[in-house]
Amino acid sequence: MLYRRCGRSGLKLPAISLGCWHNFGTQANHNEARRMLHRAFDLGITHFDLANNYGPPPGSAEEFVGKVLSEDFKAHRDELIISSKAGYLMWPGPYGEWSSRKYLLASLDQSLFRLNLDYVDIFYSHRPDPDTPLEETILALDQAVRAGKAIYAGLSNYRGEMTAAAVKLARELRLPLVIHQPRYSMLDRWVEPDLLPVTKREGLGVIAFCPLAKGLLTNRYFDGVPRDSRAAGTLGFLTTNQVTPEIVVKVKRLNTLAQQRSQSMAQIALAWVLRDDAVTSALIGASRVSQIEENVDALSNLKFSAEELAEIDRILT
């Protein structure tokens, strides 16, 4: 496993991290989910990423992962990075979502209970709150760290300008705000002009979620939408109308380039996100062990020639 330093902090993350979302909740195959956690760790994936609302239903992914951590990984706690987030709808009423101090700190306590942990390694504000002052959100993250309930703080889904403002506030408090988790893939490059210049300048690590564009950047949809695919499901993470003929044509052309590099479509997509070490880690989802193994193998070739990068840009424009 390749480990990269998270910005200018002392924290190192594996280049591939495991997201524990819809394949770890109540409706998941728990035997396979447990095997995935074990195999990921054996491959050097020491970072398991969660959020309060992961499941479904919300909270159930933390409950299951917490059970596995206490039963199987207790002796390895100090080798692991466990992260959680709060920001999306978790319970009814005026304090059940967004990024107020009330919600963030209450949610963290609930997450720790579900995870059977005394602390998480990274606690994120999952999304910016249009109605709560940024100072309040950063002060809540600071309180979580000072209380020993989190070691580091992070942001997710914040735009570049607000990220820069948050870093300034964090530095005034000496809060270890060390990482940003944005959506980033070959098909979704908003971070390049907006966020990455800020994270590079301010010394933040970046962990990209949806690097495979919810499965679009695989060979899964080359011949239509399979009945057992994510797009055919009812959870809404990917819908059939997002699997457009134009996208499929582009991904098939990218796949030809991947084959020339002796990589799968998923592997070239991950390698592309990690081509610049400004991106600390790529956060993958998986439904079976073999997907994790394939994704980790992407690390064997992260280098792209100028011609390959130009060809990728031509395909995607």
For residue 236, being part of any structural domain is answered with no
* pTM for this predicted structure: 0.95
| Residue 204, pLDDT score | 98
User: How many domains, the chain?
Assistant: 1
Q: Is residue 83 part of a domain?
A: yes
Q: Is the pLDDT of residue 193 over 70?
A: yes
Domain-located, residue 112:
yes
CATH of the domain at 140: 3.20.20.100
- Domain contains 306: no
CA distance 205 to 207: 7
Domain containing residue 286 = 3-221+265-301
Whether 231 is in a domain gets the answer no
In a domain, 116, yes or no: yes
Domain for residue 228, yes or no? no
Mean pLDDT of 115-120: 98
Decide if pLDDT at 225 tops 60: yes
Comparing CA positions, the residue from 203, 176, 207 lying closest to residue 191 is 207
- Report the relative pairing of strands 47-49 and 81-86 from DSSP bridges: parallel
- pLDDT above 80 for 228: no
Q: Does residue 313 sit within a domain?
A: no
Write down the pLDDT at residue 229.
63
181 vs 317, residue with greater confidence: 181
Burial class (CB in 10 A: 0-12, 13-18, 19+), 188: middle
Helices of type H across 116-195: 134-146, 160-173, 191-194
At 229-248, the pLDDT tens digits run 665 565 656 777 788 889 99
Give 151's contacts (C-beta < 8 A, 6+ positions apart): 119, 120, 121, 122, 145, 176
